[in-house]
Amino acid sequence: MAQLVSTPSVNASSSLLNPSSASKLKPSSIPSRFRGAQRREGKRSNGSSRSRVEAVASRISTLLPVSPDDLLKADEEFQKLKTVQQRGNESLSVWSNPNVRRKTKIVCTIGPSTNTREMIWKLAEAGMNVARLNMSHGDHASHQKVIDLVKEYNALCKDNVISIMLDTKGPEVRSGDLPQPINLVTGQEFTFTIKRGVSTDDSVSVNYDDFVNDVEAGDMLLVDGGMMSLMVKSKTKDDVKCEVVDGGELKSRRHLNVRGKSATLPSITEKDWDDIKFGVENKVDYYAVSFVKDADVVHELKEYLQSCDADIHVIVKIESADSIPNLHSIITASDGAMVARGDLGAELPIEEVPLLQEEIIGMCRSMGKAVIVATNMLESMITHPMPTRAEVSDIAIAVREGADAVMLSGETAHGKHPLKAVKVMHTVALRTEATLDGSEKPANLGHAFKNHMSEMFAYHATMMSNTLGTSTIVFTRTGFMAILLSHFRPSGTIFAFTDEERVRQRLALYQGVCPIYMQFSDDAEKTFAEALSYLQEHGMVKQGEEVALVQSGRQPIWRSQSTHNIQARASCGCCVGPVLSTIVEFWNIRAAKVAKAMATRLRLWYSSFAGNVEELMEIVNASNYLNCYELISFTRKAVENIAPEDAAVYFELRGSDREGD
Ligand SMILES: Nc1ncnc2c1ncn2[C@@H]1O[C@H](COP(=O)(O)OP(=O)(O)O)[C@@H](O)[C@H]1O
Ligand SMILES: C=C(OP(=O)(O)O)C(=O)O
């Protein structure tokens, strides 16, 4: 069951997000598709917005979509409505905690610079949402310590939560350990050998025996994605002899890629299976699986996880040349993807990376999967306290392209300025988000979800909360509906209340989701009241602010017999009693038949709304598609015409579908 509620919102200030700071932008400095906030500002000061809202709303109510063309026209009208309505109370601005207000999440790789209690705490307070453990480095004992520290933080800190992501080493090829860095000079001869433990001035071990078989004379070897490069000249049984093309300092355990080739090892190696078991024992939230080449490996891992009853989500790292032809099936099989630009830009020509980034983000967004952009985002901050301008732009682009999260690697693992790097990422993401017109019609996820009813439900809930300018509160036991809502990218925050600690921890990765643990009461009103007072106590929602309530679940908290339920409410101050309720329930209404079933099964209860009931019924009777436009225009009229304390309007549609989350 799912449910949506709404009530009037209040502005809160934030240096980056308040309307006055947004209006300081020069119009010409923002591309047109990002000017929504400005358009709204301009219109807001332009006379009575309420009467214009009414005018547009009434036009919408006469334009009932009965064909695809009508839907387009209705959409145009809907866009006009959005530009004139009051949205000074952007729900983004109500988050007092930096982690909460920002929508794009930050993944931090934990390493020698950050693996202490003090640094984990400081990273979390600076904005880290996900702690990444790179199994290419460290041992189980050192990773165990970090996992324990993050869990300790999560247990103590009720209003912030950090996910744990275990990143497998995969079939990567690395040079061996060195007592000290070797200086490679352009033009010199240098040998990589499969013999173990070699480190001289002109040779070093590699960790992969088939390296000699995989490379040919003429291949270009890239160290650390191209920081240094060597041309293969010849090979023997054990050695690959090279000439240094671009020299530099070779340190311990550096990445080696052969330009244009993937290693022939399986994606999950024996070491990876060991690390995966370690992840199961420690109940991590995510695996980031390195060098995935096809969907089979994801199915294999998921089967294994199911066999040991481990509820861990799988993020595929897109970094192998071989993965590109199989992108669609790989992402379909997974819970999300990481654009691992380091290896991707080594296996493929570097100029392909931004194009692939955009394509992978787009694919994940259309398939309802999480997506992370990784590597080199603030690389210069490993040594410098300030980022380059190009790095700042890189973060902004990932945010605009719609990534769920952006990732820091060496910046937080072994950099000199880990906290500054997180703060820069936080500020740039937040600033960029403030220019995005989040009130756009939500993305259509097509048939990405098996549970089509839930998808449609989340779509309309998003539409309604965007139009009314509210945050969303979702009650979820499995996280499903919170994740679904996140994929539709509502303009307001998604406050996800869950009674499962694991779900709370997992949801930290998802764009726009603020996960909160709460025990659900059998009494739905009590649960609502507790959720609202939690948000008010924590300064996340102000008294009188509009909120939208959405509920979903096989074990619903709202009404035991229903599956889906949208409700729009207006509350006065901290009063949670319904002032305006619009409840739409779907039961066994298959997608194609939704419209008719909804209209014919509609029932209406009302009090103090006599004036508009006839009009409402006209809308409903004339329409064979009761959709969000009508709900919204109806809701707005009701809000504007009724004294909030005594209105109670409630209409309901029923079917018998039992799907849910
Ligand atoms: N757990 C760890 N222990 C020691 N060093 C680490 C650890 N994690 C990361 N690092 C260091 O931080 C660097 C950057 O991290 P990352 O990008 O995740 O690694 P890599 O690029 O080597 O795969 C690594 O190359 C390594 O030097
Ligand atoms: C994120 C990446 O993977 P890793 O840090 O494990 O090399 C990458 O290659 O960009």
Q: How much is the pLDDT for 577?
A: 27
Residue corresponding to tokens 């970094």: 319
Q: Is the pLDDT of residue 243 over 60?
A: yes
> Quick one: pLDDT at residue 412?
98
Ligand 2: atom nearest CA of 340 is 10
What pLDDT is attached to residue 75?
A: 44
Per-residue pLDDT for 210 more than 60? yes
pLDDT band at residue 319 using 50, 70 and 90 as cut-offs? very high
DSSP reduced 3-state for 655: coil
pLDDT, one tens digit per residue, over 391-400 is: 999 999 999 9
Which two structure tokens, joined as six digits, stand for 113?
Answer: 């610079």
Residue 169, ligand 2, Cβ within 6 A = no
pLDDT at 600: 35
Residue 633 has pLDDT above 90, yes or no: no
pLDDT surpassing 70 at residue 249? yes
**Looking at ligand 1, which residue's alpha carbon is closest to its atom 5?**
111
Look at residue 452 in the predicted model and tell me its pLDDT: 58
Structure tokens at 405: 């999260």
Rounded (10°) angle between helices 452-468 and 480-487 = 60
DSSP letter assigned to residue 86: -
pLDDT band at residue 554 using 50, 70 and 90 as cut-offs? very low
pLDDT at residue 106 greater than cutoff 90: yes
Check residue 3 and give its pLDDT.
40
Q: What is the pLDDT of residue 523?
A: 76
Enumerate the active-site residues: 132, 174, 317, 375
**Ligand 2 within 6 A of 267 CB?**
no
Residue 527: pLDDT band (50, 70, 90) is: confident
Report whether pLDDT(553) > 60.
Answer: no
| Ligand approaching nearest to the C-alpha of 418 | 1
pLDDT at 503 over 80: yes
Q: Which residue has the higher pLDDT, 103 or 646?
A: 103
pLDDT of residue 630: 47
Q: Which residue has the higher pLDDT, 637 or 361?
A: 361
Residue 265 confidence class, pLDDT cut points 50, 70, 90: confident
Residue nearest to atom 17 of ligand 1 (CA): 409
The predicted pLDDT at position 574 comes to 25
State how beta strands 547-551 and 566-567 pair: antiparallel
Higher pLDDT, 545 or 290: 290
pLDDT digits (tens, 9 = 90+) for 434-491: 888 655 566 655 545 545 566 767 777 787 777 767 788 888 888 988 998 999 898 8
Choose from 123-137, 574-588, 621-635 the range with maximum mean pLDDT: 123-137
Domains and CATH numbers, the chain: 19-31+450-652 (3.40.1380.20), 98-171+265-433 (3.20.20.60), 173-258 (2.40.33.10)
ipTM, interface predicted TM-score of the complex = 0.97
26-78 confidence digits (pLDDT tens): 222 223 322 223 333 333 333 333 332 233 233 323 322 333 333 344 344 43
Q: How far is CA 632 from CA 5, 359, 501, 605, 612, in A?
A: 12, 34, 35, 18, 14
Q: How does residue 324 score in pLDDT terms, banded at 50, 70 and 90?
A: very high
Q: How far apart are CA 123 and CA 415, in angstroms?
A: 13
Is ligand 2 within 6 A of the CB of residue 290?
yes
pLDDT at 430 over 60: yes
Q: Where are the alpha helices (DSSP H) in 327-417?
A: 327-333, 341-347, 353-367, 389-401, 410-413
**138 in ligand 1 pocket by Cβ < 6 Å?**
yes
Q: Residue 109: CB within 6 Å of ligand 2?
A: no
* Mean pLDDT, range 104-128, rounded to an integer: 97
The CA 135 to ligand 1 mean position distance, Å, reads 9
Higher pLDDT, 92 or 369: 369
Does position 558 have pLDDT exceeding 80, yes or no?
A: no
Helices 628-641 + 68-84 axis angle, to 10: 30
* Residue 344 CA, closest ligand 2 atom number: 9
- Tell me what pLDDT residue 126 has: 95
Lowest mean pLDDT among 3-17, 154-168, 638-652: 3-17
91 alpha carbon – ligand 1 mean position (Å)? 37
pTM of the model: 0.74
Ligand 2: distance of its center to the CA of 345 in Å? 10
* pLDDT of the residue at 520: 87
Task: Please state, rounded to an integer, the average pLDDT across all residues of the chain.
Answer: 73
CB of 375 closer than 6 angstroms to any ligand 2 atom: yes
Q: Which helix (H) or strand (E) holds 211?
A: helix 211-214
Which residues lie below 8 Å from residue 273, measured CB to CB, with a gap of 6+? none
Please state which of the ranges 131-145, 431-445, 630-644 shows the lowest mean pLDDT. 630-644
Q: Which of 167, 174, 257, 378 to mutate to test the pocket of ligand 2 (most atoms within 8 A of CB)?
A: 167
Tell me how far apart the alpha carbons of residues 348 and 262 are, in angstroms, rounded to a whole number: 10
Task: Dump pLDDT digits (tens) for 565-615.
Answer: 554 443 332 222 232 333 333 322 233 233 333 333 333 333 333 444 455
For ligand 2, say whether the CB of 357 is within 6 Å of any of its atoms.
Answer: no
In the predicted model, what is the mean pLDDT of residues 365-374? 94
State phi, psi for 525 to the nearest 5 degrees.
-60, -35
Ligand sitting nearest the alpha carbon of 115? 1
Share of the chain above pLDDT 70, in %: 64
Please give the average per-residue pLDDT across 523-538, as a whole number: 83
User: Measured from the CA of 342, which atom of ligand 1 is nearest?
Assistant: 21
Read off the pLDDT band of 164 (50, 70, 90): very high
291 alpha carbon, closest ligand: 2
Helix (H) or strand (E) holding 461: helix 452-468
**385 beta partners:** none
Has residue 636 got a pLDDT over 50?
Answer: no
Q: What pLDDT, on the 0 to 100 scale, is given for residue 582?
A: 34
Contact 287, 337 (CB under 8 A): no
Backbone phi, psi, residue 26, to 5°: -75, 135
> Which residue has the least CA distance to atom 1 on ligand 2?
340
Task: Give the closest residue (by CA) to ligand 1 atom 27.
Answer: 414
Tell me if 409 CB under 6 Å of ligand 2: yes
Closest listed ligand to the CA of 134: 1
Ligand 2 in reach of 588 Cβ (< 6 A): no
Nearest CA to 554 out of 634, 479, 660 is that of 660
Whole-angstrom distance, CA of residue 302 vs CA of residue 387: 39
Average pLDDT on 529-556 reads 74
Confidence of residue 241 (pLDDT cuts 50, 70, 90): very high
d(C-alpha 278, C-alpha 284), whole Å? 9
- Which amino acid does the sequence have at 411? E
User: What is residue 557's predicted lDDT score, i.e. its pLDDT?
Assistant: 53
